[in-house]
Amino acid sequence: MKFEFIDKKQGSIKDDILSGLTVALALVPEAVAFAFVAGVSPVVGLYGAFMMGLITSIFGGRPGMISGATGAMAVVIVSLIQKGNALGDGQGLQYLLAALILAGTIQALFGVFKLGKLIRLVPHSVMMGFVNGLAIVIFLSQLNMFKSGGEWLSGAPLYMMVGLVAVTMAIMLILPKISKAIPAALVGILVVSALVIFGNIETETVKSFIQNRGGESIKAGLPIFNVPLIPFNFETLRLIFPFALILAAVGLIESLMTLNLVDELTETRGNGNRECVAQGAANIVNGFFGGMGGCAMIGQSIINIKSGGRGRLSGIVGAVMLLMFILFASTYIEMIPIAALVGVMFMVVIGTFAWSTFNIINKIPLSDLIVIILVTGLTVVFDLAIAVLAGVIVSALVFSWENAKRIRARKTTDEHGIKHYEIYGPLFFGSTTLFQTKFEVQNDPSEVIVDFKESRIMDQSAIEAINKLAERYHKAGKTIHLRHLSKDCIKLVKKAEAICDVNVLEDPNYFVAIDNYNKLSKLQSKLNTTS
């Protein structure tokens, strides 16, 4: 029997509530860890996860997708915090909040102008590299949980940690085959927590995890509205704008890529533009209410989907429960062993990685394989934004190169001595040089017809190539006729009235209006003359 990590069934209210609770439990150490990476208080990270999760779940374009504080944005935030602190004692957080408001505005505008559809430009090979790289990043981040005081665990603590992780993973693997009434991840966390608490097992918990990294507790009150306390001048804008731009780009790329992945896993379709607006609104709210901001989280999204969460309710429950943990249940949440949460994330790694990559290595073009490896590597070494942009650029260059070689010209000479060039393939910046080599200007007869019926003019470089070709024939004292060009092309072709024509009777669907009817009639008469 084949094991399927993702169940494609429709969700229910019960599934959404239980999966939301599971997500909330898994969000705690993630938000805390990313807050430490960013250089802010754990509570700031938890506030950020709560506000991101709630707003995007209600207004976002992808039900079932979870947003929160993420490592990709934390890496950018840490530099801004440091520069802000250098300008004044403790001002780094205030500059971050201002940058989040600006970044959120950029993201919202991106959605308002319907630019979310640009995600369609991401090839499947880039998508595979993205999920593989992110799976590796999640795996490596969990390895840090096997350290204490900066040193790797050893002896009994290591064996206990590994054993508890294995128990959690075993529960998540076996339970779905017996019953799917309760999310396996939630059962795994509860069972392992019970073993640790009632068995008096010494292992790192959420509380010790926070304390070992300089924090105290996750207990706090409600987020409070505040306008960032920074100077509103050009110097401030010059400092925060580059960071805001990077935060907006990283957040949108990760969110839209995660949306795409969840679409594939659930065989449904989300709304990218709506998600952009929701992500932007959530970051703006974070800026005014003291959260560290964030974006979509692939790990928690997969936990949610795997646990049966399909509707908006799952994300709302996850966010609200996270707030409840902060307000009322911090003591109990801090008792959860880190090993249980690591086990859940290891199962996320297994479900995220595109294992089919190994099966298609010898079945896909070498260029696609290179893109997959490139994006995977860059995601691990640098960050998601750089990896995806590099993958898209390389894929675009490969596509252009391959299409540049497809321009062809079929050459025939009719009984009247007129030479015909029938052009096949796209004419664009990459194929213009090869296009020019197809013509034998000096050896051609005095009258030449170039037919673009089976070709398409793609850009300004193609128009210039046509103009240069016409000039070459005119300098040689020969007449050239261009046929089946679109109306827009004709407007840009020099001397169009003299050299552009089309047989509208043969090709009514590609009609081009031409004023020079005498020229057209004369050519038609010559072509139709019979001996």
What does the pLDDT look like over 236-280, one tens digit per residue? 999 999 999 989 988 998 899 899 889 988 888 899 999 999 999
Q: Where are the beta strands (DSSP E) in 376-499?
A: 408-413, 419-427, 447-457, 479-483
Vertex 161 angle, CA 159 and 166, to 5°: 95
> Which residue, of 372, 395, 418, is where some domain finishes?
395
Task: Confirm if 38 and 74 have CB atoms less than 8 A apart.
Answer: yes
User: How far is residue 369's CA from residue 362's CA, in Å, rounded to a whole number?
Assistant: 9
pLDDT at 70 > cutoff 60: yes
* Mean pLDDT (whole number) for 509-531: 44
* Higher per-residue confidence, 31 vs 50: 50
- Whether 362 maps to a domain, the answer reads yes
| Residue 528 pLDDT level (bands cut at 50, 70, 90) | low
* Higher per-residue confidence, 163 vs 511: 163
pLDDT at 491 > cutoff 90: no
Claim to verify: residue 303 and residue 443 sit in the same structural domain: no
Euclidean distance between the first and final Cα of the chain, in Å? 76
Residue 496, both tokens: 């169009």
Q: Collapsing DSSP states into helix, strand and coil, what is residue 295?
A: strand
Claim to verify: residue 388 and residue 418 sit in the same structural domain: no
Claim to verify: residue 330 and residue 413 sit in the same structural domain: no
What is the pLDDT at residue 503?
Answer: 41
* Mean pLDDT (whole number) for 523-528: 52
* Higher per-residue confidence, 4 vs 358: 358
- Whether 403 maps to a domain, the answer reads no
* Mean pLDDT (whole number) for 472-487: 89
Which strand (E) or helix (H) includes residue 251?
A: helix 234-266
Question: According to the 3-state scheme, what is the secondary structure of 49-74?
Answer: HHHHHHHHHHHCCCCCCCEECCHHHH
Task: Confirm if 339 and 125 have CB atoms less than 8 A apart.
Answer: no
User: How far is residue 254's CA from residue 70's CA, in Å, rounded to a whole number?
Assistant: 10
What is the pLDDT at residue 6?
Answer: 53
What does the pLDDT look like over 367-390, one tens digit per residue? 999 999 999 999 888 877 788 889
Claim to verify: residue 346 and residue 463 sit in the same structural domain: no
Written as one letter, the residue type at 1 is M
- Whether 7 maps to a domain, the answer reads no
pLDDT at 2 > cutoff 60: no
What is the pLDDT at residue 220?
Answer: 92
Claim to verify: residue 388 and residue 451 sit in the same structural domain: no
**Weakest-pLDDT range from 31-35, 294-298, 327-331:** 31-35
* Pairing status of strand 479-483 against strand 500-501: parallel
- Whether 493 maps to a domain, the answer reads yes
**Weakest-pLDDT range from 9-13, 207-211, 225-229:** 9-13
| Residue 211 pLDDT level (bands cut at 50, 70, 90) | confident
User: How far is residue 529's CA from residue 514's CA, in Å, rounded to a whole number?
Assistant: 23
Phi, psi of 304 (to 5 degrees): -65, -50
Name the CA dihedral angle for 53, 58, 60, 65, rounded to a multiple of 10 degrees: 50
- Whether 139 maps to a domain, the answer reads yes
* Mean pLDDT (whole number) for 313-324: 96
The HSE-up count of residue 393 (CA atoms within 13 Å, CB side) is 8
pLDDT at 16 > cutoff 60: yes
- Whether 8 maps to a domain, the answer reads no
> Which residue, of 365, 395, 425, is where some domain finishes?
395
> Which residue, of 395, 427, 448, is where some domain finishes?
395
* Higher per-residue confidence, 513 vs 366: 366
Claim to verify: residue 329 and residue 303 sit in the same structural domain: yes
Domain count, the chain: 2
Phi, psi of 504 (to 5 degrees): -70, -20
Q: Which domain holds residue 437?
A: 408-528
pLDDT at 519 > cutoff 60: no
- Shortest CA distance to 256 belongs to which of 282, 277, 234, 287? 277
Phi, psi of 426 (to 5 degrees): -75, 140
- Whether 5 maps to a domain, the answer reads no
What is the pLDDT at residue 373?
Answer: 95
Claim to verify: residue 441 and residue 293 sit in the same structural domain: no
- Shortest CA distance to 470 belongs to which of 485, 480, 484, 461? 480
pLDDT at 19 > cutoff 70: yes
What is the pLDDT at residue 144?
Answer: 85
What is the pLDDT at residue 517?
Answer: 37
Claim to verify: residue 385 and residue 492 sit in the same structural domain: no
* Mean pLDDT (whole number) for 342-348: 89
Name the CA dihedral angle for 362, 368, 372, 375, rounded to a multiple of 10 degrees: 160
Task: Confirm if 340 and 164 have CB atoms less than 8 A apart.
Answer: yes
* Pairing status of strand 295-296 against strand 67-68: antiparallel
pLDDT at 1 > cutoff 60: no
What is the pLDDT at residue 413?
Answer: 93
| Residue 10 pLDDT level (bands cut at 50, 70, 90) | low
Q: Give one DSSP letter per residue of 296-341, joined into a string.
A: E-HHHHHHHHHTT--SHHHHHHHHHHHHHHHHT-HHHHTTSBHHHH
Give Cα separations from 9 to 21, 46, 311 (angstroms).
19, 31, 12
pLDDT at 466 > cutoff 70: yes
Claim to verify: residue 272 and residue 374 sit in the same structural domain: yes
Tell the residue number behind the tokens 């957080």, with chain if given: 93
- Whether 303 maps to a domain, the answer reads yes
Claim to verify: residue 387 and residue 454 sit in the same structural domain: no
What does the pLDDT look like over 103-136, one tens digit per residue? 999 999 999 999 888 877 889 899 899 889 888 9
Q: Collapsing DSSP states into helix, strand and coil, what is residue 408?
A: strand
| Residue 529 pLDDT level (bands cut at 50, 70, 90) | low
Claim to verify: residue 261 and residue 391 sit in the same structural domain: yes
What does the pLDDT look like over 440-449, one tens digit per residue? 999 999 999 9
Claim to verify: residue 41 and residue 140 sit in the same structural domain: yes
